[in-house]
């Protein structure tokens, strides 16, 4: 099954690491608004930014991904 970036996982991991939105934004060279959009799942960050987020939060890229679920038609 495919995996994709998860805004809720970003939010939970960021909070668990004790990192503010503002600090994360500065560290990954993005705006706080961008980080909020990533957390809300409205925007998927590029792969290099996902890697930078993982480095900043002390987690793996896989920690920020989730399995795609099939929706019934």
Helix ranges (DSSP H) in the chain: 7-17, 21-27, 32-40, 47-57
5 near 42, Cβ under 8 Å? Answer: no
What are the structural domains, with CATH classification, of the chain? 3-67 (1.10.260.40)
Strand partners, 67: 3
pLDDT of residue 69: 74
Q: What average pLDDT does the segment 47-71 reach?
A: 92
Burial string for 15-46 (b: 16+ CB within 10 Å, else e) reads eeeebebeebbeebebeeebbebbbeeeeebe
Give the tens place of pLDDT for each residue, 26-49. Answer: 999 999 999 999 999 999 999 999
**Is pLDDT at 55 greater than 90 in this prediction?**
yes
pLDDT of residue 41: 94
- Rounded to two decimals, the pTM is 0.89
């Amino acid at each position: 099954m495919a995996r994709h970036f998860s805004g809720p996982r970003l939010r939970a991991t960021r909070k668990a690491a004790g990192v503010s939105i503002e600090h994360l934004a500065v560290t990954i060279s993005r705006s706080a608004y961008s980080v909020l959009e990533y957390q809300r799942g409205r925007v998927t960050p590029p792969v290099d930014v996902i890697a930078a987020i993982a480095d900043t939060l002390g987690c793996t890229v896989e920690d920020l991904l989730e399995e795609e679920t099939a929706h019934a038609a």
